A and B are shown apart, each in its own frame.
Chain A
Amino acid sequence: MSRVVFPARVLPYLLLSPQIAITAVFFYWPASQALWQSVLREDPFGLKTTFVGLANFRSVLADPNYLQSARVTVVFSVATALLAMAAALWLASAAERVVRGRGLYRTLLIWPYAVAPAVAGMLWLFMFNPAMGTFAYMLRRAGYNWDPLLDPGQAMTMVVVAAAWKQISYNFLFFVAAMQSIPRSLIEAAAIDGAGSTKRFWTIVLPLIAPTTFFLLVVNTVYAFFDTFGIIHAVTGGGPARATETLVYKVYNDGFVHLSLGSSAAQSVILMAIVILLTAIQFRFVERRVHYG
């Protein structure tokens, strides 16, 4: 990809400096402390500290729960990203098709995005928690054995749906914007050529919104991987029996609740490594297949 660029010596550094400064102070500085913490064994209050080398990493990687949690993360992230994107794409293409009431639908569909995860978790409990949820009662009365507190599959379904629910609006907003930027002439030309709406969707719309789709894929993966902590925390608390404990939740739980700082820091470091790898893969390989108009 060859781009036309501006010749300048100092300007780009000036432009970059605010972001680099903030990232250095609030990301790299704490991250380096986490790195240091990961080779220490320390009590929570920091009164006794021993250097243990890579012992924390060894015990994390030897822990079967850690591998289980990695599996949970993959299943959860893939399911959440797929569900959130597919539902949003479906709704966005339906919104493109209607003439009347388009604005109203759009307005109503973007509400959940404004709900804080801490609040969303509470709402989901109110609906689906077997002890207090209205829908839990309805499901059980209808003869379905709804018990996500004990059934790992149901618990996973519940967090995936809750997490995807929060993300649908976001994806919807972007898909609608992308679809609207497709030149009308292109689509009308295809329609005159006799392409049905389904065919038009697959051959014209989808390729043209590929950059947005790629962007959303990255954002949704990131979201599912890392930003669903609040929802998992409120909806299942990682249970039952660790069935919904993702890697990020485990970092939180081990560090924040169990106060094993060394192990938690080692997990953070491993996460950072995974993130760097994932980012590299996304930029190097996936992006190449995407056309920028």
Chain B
Amino acid sequence: MSLRTILAGTTGLSLVALASTPAFAVTELQWWHAMSGANNEVVDTLAKEFNDSQADYRIVPVFKGTYPETLNAGIAAFRAKQPPAIMQVFDVGTGVMMAAEGAMKPVAEVLEEGGYAFDKSQYLPGIVAYYSKPDGTMLSFPYNSSSPILFFNKDIFEKAGLDVANPPKTWSEVFEAARTIKSSGAAACGYTSTWLTWIHLENFAAWNNVSYGSNENGLAGPNVELALDAPIYVEHFQAIADLAKDGTFRYGGRTSEAKQLFLSGECGILTESSGGLGDIVKAGMNYGIGQLPFVEGEGRPQNTIPGGASLWVFGGLDDAQYKGVAEFFNFLSQTEIQVRLHQQSGYLPVTLAAYEATKASGFYEQNPGRETPITQMMGKAPTENSRGVRLANLPQVRDIANEEFEAMLAGSQDAETALKKLVERGNAAIREAVGSQ
């Protein structure tokens, strides 16, 4: 053994020793999230990769239950003056978070103070607009975004004599196809949908370019009068209610439970979040993907709005923590990370570079349909109807809507009554919520 090897060995050892000494100033950053199932593993992997990539900061992911449970844990911790650094908040919680000025620090500021220029044009416009103040300041970092699309069962389509290469594009075509599926006996039910509120109210408004509520759907100010009893909604929901009478439309539940009806082959058509693709692939069924349907009309479809969740940064942390958060968000924005998240999980990419890279790699040719949610969202410059919906109490308004829809689908009221009651109760709840802020 030469002296050299010994020397090299010692240096190596001392280097190892240096590296493994718990750096005296490792800043720990807690990331509270609501990601379960396979998504939970993605979160843990990201944190591990970031922690291994540098020695100054350590991201500690903590699962805090469902989205509402996570939000409450964060609020409770803030009120007890022990907030985490980062908290994941679902799309409908955005209004609540924006109203809590002072409790949160805008992500754009965090990035700039951390030495990273925040350039809005690098991000997917539809997503960033949803998580920004009206003046364009990005408030939270989009983590998992998705967009509603149409799935159909090719075997059932063939049995019913429908064209597999040409899935229905408009709502009336969907309803027609659903009736054909049912009457031909190809399946017990023609059409089902997850998330009636997110898909058939919030996205319906944006995609068809009609108003959801006053004040630009709440983006221009918190005092919103809902516009959900307009004729276009009434006709749409009455059509669904009529189909529900003989089981051509089947209701699966308020969130994504209806997916099971599609997986089991009970229903031939499904509208669902693009994030639901994983289960559909794993069930090994012969499926096809189409655009979210729209109502025939001039200039339609417009653009869809994202669902999912974003990462918020609490106020009142120290400078080292903010620096660490900026590093972490910068790490998350890296093209290769975004590409991987997008291709593996079905989330939409956050940056344009990641979208372009995926396109260039030929991924969309191999996985037809995976680009659909992105093109839907990016197709057109958003109008004041299609930038999103922002209410201080959107979860509550969604619950009210679900209650009225359930009564309607059970046959105890028609669509007009349901929507009238939704507007009346929703407006009262919004006034109450705005008053308390």
Given contacts A43-B437, A259-B71, 13 further A-B contacts (CB under 8 A): A43-B99, A45-B78, A131-B260, A137-B264, A150-B406, A151-B410, A152-B410, A239-B402, A242-B403, A256-B68, A256-B69, A258-B399, A259-B72
- Cβ of A149 and Cβ of B253 under 8 Å apart? yes
Which residue on chain B has the smallest CB distance to residue A245?
A: B403
- Cα A151 to Cα B260 in complex, Å, equals 19
In the assembled complex, A121 has its CB within 8 A of some CB on chain B = no
A67 to chain B minimum Cβ distance, whole angstroms, is 16
A237, B254: Cβ atoms closer than 8 Å: yes
Compute how far the CA of A68 lies from the CA of B234 in the bound complex, rounded to whole angstroms: 27
With a CB–CB cut-off of 8 A, which chain B residues contact A104?
Answer: none
Which one, B253, B396, B404, B410, contacts A258 given CB within 8 A? Answer: B396
Q: Mark A253-268, 1 if CB is under 8 A from B, else 0.
A: 1001111101000000
User: Which A residues are CB-close (under 8 A) to B250?
Assistant: 130
Does B117 make an interface contact (CB < 8 A)?
no
The 6 sampled A-B contact pairs (Cβ below 8 Å) are A41-B436, A43-B99, A44-B100, A149-B252, A150-B409, A241-B410
Interface string of A109-138 (1 = CB under 8 A from B): 000000000000000000001111000010
With an 8 A cutoff between CB atoms, is A48 at the interface? yes
Residue A131 contacts which of B78, B100, B261, B404 (CB distance < 8 angstroms)?
Answer: B261
Chain B residues with CB under 8 Å of A150's CB are 251, 406, 409-410
**With A149-B253, A151-B410: A132-B404 Cβ-Cβ less than 8 Å:** no
B258 within 8 Å of A by Cβ? Answer: yes
Docked pose: A242 CA to B261 CA in angstroms: 23
Range, interface on chain B: 35 or more
Q: Are B75 and A44 touching (Cβ within 8 A)?
A: yes
With A129-B257, A258-B396 in contact, do A41 and B435 touch (Cβ < 8 Å)?
yes
Cβ-neighbour of B100 out of A45, A147, A149 (below 8 A): A45
Query: A258 touching B393 by the CB < 8 A rule?
Result: yes
Q: Is the CB of A45 within 8 A of B393?
A: no
User: Which chain B positions have C-beta within 8 A of A131?
Assistant: 252-253, 257-261
The CA-CA distance from A48 to B68 in the complex, in Å, is 21
Give the shortest distance, in Å, between B144 (CB) and chain A (any CB): 20
B282 sits at the interface (CB 8 A) = no
The yes or no answer to A46 lying at the interface (CB within 8 A) is yes
| Chain A residue at smallest Cβ distance from B262 | A131
B102 at interface, CB cutoff 8 A: yes
Which of chain B's residues 378-428 have a Cβ closer than 8 Å to chain A?
393, 395-396, 399, 402-404, 406-407, 409-410
- Given A131-B261, A132-B260, verify A259-B406 contact (CB < 8 Å): no
> In residues 20-79 of chain A, which contact B (Cβ within 8 Å)?
41-48, 59
Docked pose: A59 CA to B433 CA in angstroms = 13
Please determine whether B406 and A260 come into contact, CB atoms closer than 8 angstroms.
Answer: no
Question: Interface residues, chain B, CB within 8 Å of chain A?
Answer: 68-69, 71-72, 75, 78-79, 96, 99-103, 250-254, 257-261, 264, 393, 395-396, 399, 402-404, 406-407, 409-410, 432-433, 435-437
Are B79 and A46 neighbours in the complex by a CB distance under 8 Å?
yes
A240 at the interface (CB under 8 A from B): yes
A42: which of B72, B103, B402, B436 is its contact (CB, 8 Å)? B436
Query: How far in angstroms is the closest Cβ of chain B from A263?
Result: 8
Out of A237, A240, A242, name the residue touching B410 (CB < 8 Å). Answer: A240
Provide the residues of chain B in CB contact with A45, threshold 8 Å. 75, 78-79, 100, 103
The answer to whether A43 and B406 have CB atoms under 8 Å apart is no
Q: Which residue of the partner chain B has the closest CB to A50?
A: B436
Q: How far is the CA of A240 from the CA of B75 in the complex (A)?
A: 29
A239 touches B254 (CB 8 A): yes
CB within 8 Å for A258 and B395 given contacts A131-B257, A131-B258: yes
Per a CB cutoff under 8 Å, which of B71, B99, B264, B433 touches A132? B264
CB contacts (< 8 Å) of B404 on chain A: these are 241
Q: Which residue of B is nearest A256, CB measured? A: B72
How far is A237 from B257 in the complex, measured between Cα atoms in Å?
Answer: 13
Query: In the complex the two chains form, what is the Cα distance from A156 to B52 in whole Å?
Result: 52
**Smallest distance from the beta carbon of A107 to chain B beta carbons, Å?**
34
> In whole angstroms, how far apart are the Cα atoms of A206 and B396 in the complex?
49
The complex places the Cα of A259 from the Cα of B395 at a distance, in Å, of: 9
Please, how many angstroms separate the alpha-carbon atoms of A77 and B102 in the complex?
A: 44
A129-B257, A150-B409, A257-B395 known; A262 and B403 CB under 8 Å?
A: no
* Contact in complex: B406, A149 (CB < 8 Å): yes
CB A11 to nearest CB in B, in angstroms, measures 38
User: B75: which A residues are within 8 A, CB to CB?
Assistant: 44-45, 259
- Docked complex Cα distance between A95 and B130 (Å): 63
In the complex, which residues of chain A have a beta carbon less than 8 angstroms from the beta carbon of B99? Answer: 43
Nearest A-chain residue to B435, judged by Cβ: A41
Q: Give the distance in Å from the alpha carbon of A226 to the alpha carbon of B411 in the complex.
A: 32
Cα separation A151 to B102 with both chains bound (whole Å) = 45
